[in-house]
Structure 1
Amino acid sequence: MISRVNGAKSKQEELEIVNQVTAKLRNKFKANQEEIQFTPLIKVLYLYILGYPCPWANLECLMLLSQSSFAAKRIAYIVYGALFDENHEMTLLSYNSIQADLHDSRPHVVSLALQSIANTVGAEYLRMVLPRVLHFIEKRKAPPIIRARAFACGLKMVRMLPEFSDVVMKAIGRYLNDSSSNSILNNVISIYLQIAVSEDGKWIKPLQESQTIKINWSCWSS
């Protein structure tokens, strides 16, 4: 497909090829509703990158997201991030799948879910996953890849849900005071400062209330 599209000699020829590919993909999705394969969704992603809207693939993306295979989930989350945003009407339909992934025993699956939350979902969605995100921020034995993504979610929560800023800031503050935590401390401090500084460069309320936090700078590796 890619070679055919790249070999098109005109925009009209490219459009004809894309329409043919789109029709084949839609027929394939209809014929295999029980198990969506991730290879067709890679083609959907390519079409999206070229600038062609692919709303007909939204449901297939959500179905692939619910599969247990990590390879399938990885592709599904990439396509999900491209096709969906915080204002998309179907974003909430992914809640059960993402919530299940947040409880998965595989760190990389949890990381994919957290990254999707940080990049894609809106305020209502953030409220629903807040307890689980705080769990990963505060969990001392959580793998660095999970905790880093959780802090990114925390940053988004403070910006979109200011009513929860104190809760998130206190959780991050406890991490800064943990002398055993040094693997992602640079990233955490960066996020902490992004939360605490407003657009005009002034300290905002969350940091003012957290100035009593004593940061263990000795474990800040350069």
Structure 2
Amino acid sequence: MASDDVAPVVRKLVDPPEEQVERVVDLLLRVFDGDNAMESFSGQDKAIERLIYTLTIRKTLQSGECYVARSPRSSEIYGVATWLAPGIDWDFHNDPTFLAALDPALREWYNEHYASKYNELHRCLDVPKNEKGTWTLTFLAVAPESRRKGVGRALVDVISKKALSNNQSIILDVRDPTVVQFFQRLGFKYRCVKNVVSRGSPGFPIWRMYKDPSSTAASR
């Protein structure tokens, strides 16, 4: 494990077996257990939460890149980052498979509240469109016992270096102020924040963060 202070091995997943996808989903479920935003997104239904992670992983395998971190001494996965490639416009809350799985009350929350807040958040990103494209980080998760050991940075650096070499940008949404600080240390800036209200669980903020090629280079 990362607790042995050995540098993590970061590996891109390519056509992984279903068993490995399930292991990554299990990690996401563990990392985000009790997270206010995920409880709102899923209506506190673990089956819906699992569907969110599964759809996201499959989409990034198809139209982006998915990386996992593990120790060179073990095959145990303790970190994951899922990325949508430039030019891919996809959000789990607009996916037909996801919408079909929701009960009417949760679908109404997405349609009547979350969708408008999400659109406002994206419109407030007042930066020029990058003609070379923009990567989107959809999930970054590190097991609690493996944090503060460079795992998250290693998972982000893979695409940061690729974005730098291709003059591309990176965007992401963050729902935890401590995580905002983590990304700021990596050269990201936040453009705006929106507060989301949920009927079934406490509300949560979403910060939209952005890193352009010049700041990518500066943070190396």
Q: Same fold (TM over 0.5)?
A: no
TM-score of the pair, normalised by structure 2: 0.26
| Structure with greater helix percent | 1
